[in-house]
Structure 1
Amino acid sequence: MSYVKPIEVLETMVINGANKANATPLQMLIRGGLGGAILACATTLAFTATAQTGLGLVGALVFPVGFVIIVLLGLELVTGNFALIPLSVLEKKTTSAAMLRNWFYVIIGHLLGCAVYALLYWVSITSIGSNTEHPMIANIISISEAKTLSYKALGMEGLVLVFVKAILCNWMVTLGVVMGLTSKSTIGKITAMWLPILIFFAQGFEHAVVNMFVIPMGMMFGANVSMGDWWIWNQIPVLAGNLIGGVLFTALFLYLSHKPLPSFSQLQPKASETVQEKS
């Protein structure tokens, strides 16, 4: 399936990270909004599949469809950018300020996109508020409370737990981004990306963008979760853990594994060499 070698994958990571960091704020907001909404849609698909079959693994099998759509369309996931853009900064292809600007606008986009999908989903499963007996409502409330109140009950240990689960999550998510670069064919990219995303979702790890939808959605349905519970006991530590997982476990470790990283020009045939080969 047109396999791409790791050294070329790393070079593409640097280039893609620079391109993302140098996009306009409007592009970041729109791409982030679409990314958040599509991932939220994939989340409700996974919840539905789990509820229909009684098997969490079935939900995990279908969830990666959202991630695949986002990557193939060149949209934004801040969790993926946690691995790409730091490498671009390391290779001096962009700046730290541009990196932070990207993360800020993309996160705002995610929150807006997740909110829009949450509203549309509420209209759909409640028939515009006239039906509150849909089984998915209780399921989302339960998940929302589990992602906040269960950690709160453990105190400091809860913060450590959610932080570790976030690291493990984004190790897999960023590997999904990287694996998508290991093939030049669409089917190859889809297959490669699917594997790490399935791993994280099936094990209940914590993903910041998924939680930007699930927890507020549960709050909309009446979950006993406050704004402070959401941000203090989940969203902030999960964002921090996702950052560590992306930067350290994927970006830095892969970079050090294949260092020194050649410049992009070194990966391309020189004009003189091309002429000689043709002759």
Structure 2
Amino acid sequence: MRHWGVSAGGNLIGSVTVAPLILLAGTHATNGSAWGMVVLDTTQAKVSHDWHQAFFLGVLANFAVCLAVWAATAGKTVADKILAVAGPVALFVATGFEHSVANMFMLPMGLLVKYGAGAGFWEGEALTEAGKSLGDYSSITVGAVIWDNLIPVVAGQHRRRCGAGRCVLLVDPPPRRRGPREELRPARRLPRDRRSRRSWRRAAHSDRGDDEFRI
């Protein structure tokens, strides 16, 4: 639980740090405010889910993320790992599954665009042609972001500790248990030269017997 808290806290800090930088850079107003309109539409869709829908969308997203982690461990090079995670990540993005870490950026970005974009943003060509104004995004509020999305999505992704911990269980099996003979047998270093190695073999056979020790 501690590891999950550190991971979630670090992602949240990074997300809420990058979002204001993008707003200050004016990215939301590019292409006639089309970029910001996409963010607002996406944010509004995310906070419009019913509680049970957001929960199960988080469950499905976690399936894809765990698949990405498992597939990445099978890769031997950086290129293998990147190629392995591309498919599962594209799957949960294209299907509209809800992932808490991704939403830690998108939802604050939507709030910043709505409340901090300024009048010039709402007069952009894309918003004007679409006939949208600030009142069309009244459902985007801080309470809706937290209660209607982040809480149910996080609950869905970490139900009964089946989040990142389950991925660890899948890709990192427990160590092999030693048998009683392995635990009792003292470790012997094999000499490097042949003469010493032969004397070592004779001593091992005389101590344990040919039927108990093989080299």
Tell me the TM-score normalised to structure 1 length: 0.50
Closer, same or farther in 2 for the Cα pair 1:197/1:241, shift >3 Å?
Answer: same
**d(CA) in 2 for partners of 1:167, 1:274:** 52
One-letter code of the match for 2:144?
D
Alignment gaps of 5+ in structure 2: 115-136, 180-186, 198-215
Deviation at 1:214, TM superposition (A): 0.8
Show the counterpart of 1:173.
65
**d(CA) in 2 for partners of 1:171, 1:274:** 47
Show the counterpart of 1:230.
145
| 1:114 and 2:8 correspond | no
| 1:241 and 2:156 correspond | yes
One-letter code of the match for 1:205?
F
* Structure 1 contact 174–246 (Cα < 8 Å) conserved: no
One-letter code of the match for 1:135?
A
Show the counterpart of 1:142.
41
One-letter code of the match for 2:41?
S
Map 1:1-40; keep pairs closer than 5 Å.
none
**d(CA) in 1 for partners of 2:167, 2:149:** 25
Deviation at 1:186, TM superposition (A): 1.7
Identical aligned pairs, as a percentage? Answer: 28
Closer, same or farther in 2 for the Cα pair 1:263/1:104, shift >3 Å?
Answer: same
* Structure 2 contact 60–97 (Cα < 8 Å) conserved: yes
Alignment gaps of 5+ in structure 1: 1-99, 152-157
| 1:211 and 2:103 correspond | yes
Q: Say which of 257, 263, 274 aligns to 2:176.
A: 263
**d(CA) in 1 for partners of 2:78, 2:150:** 33
Q: Secondary structure at the match of 2:25?
A: helix
Tell me the TM-score normalised to structure 2 length: 0.63
Closer, same or farther in 2 for the Cα pair 1:275/1:195, shift >3 Å?
Answer: farther
Deviation at 1:101, TM superposition (A): 1.9
Deviation at 1:187, TM superposition (A): 1.7
One-letter code of the match for 2:51?
L
* Structure 1 contact 171–250 (Cα < 8 Å) conserved: no
Which aligned runs of 4 or more in structure 1 are off by greater than 4 angstroms?
252-255, 271-276
Q: Secondary structure at the match of 2:74?
A: coil
CA displacement, residues 79-114 of structure 1 (integer Å, 9 cap, x when unaligned): xxxxxxxxxxxxxxxxxxxxx222222222222111
**d(CA) in 2 for partners of 1:117, 1:233:** 23
One-letter code of the match for 1:196?
P
One-letter code of the match for 1:239?
V
One-letter code of the match for 1:229?
A
Q: Secondary structure at the match of 1:234?
A: helix
Show the counterpart of 2:80.
188
Closer, same or farther in 2 for the Cα pair 1:254/1:109, shift >3 Å?
Answer: closer
* Structure 2 contact 62–163 (Cα < 8 Å) conserved: no
Show the counterpart of 1:31.
none
**Highest Rg: 1 or 2?**
2
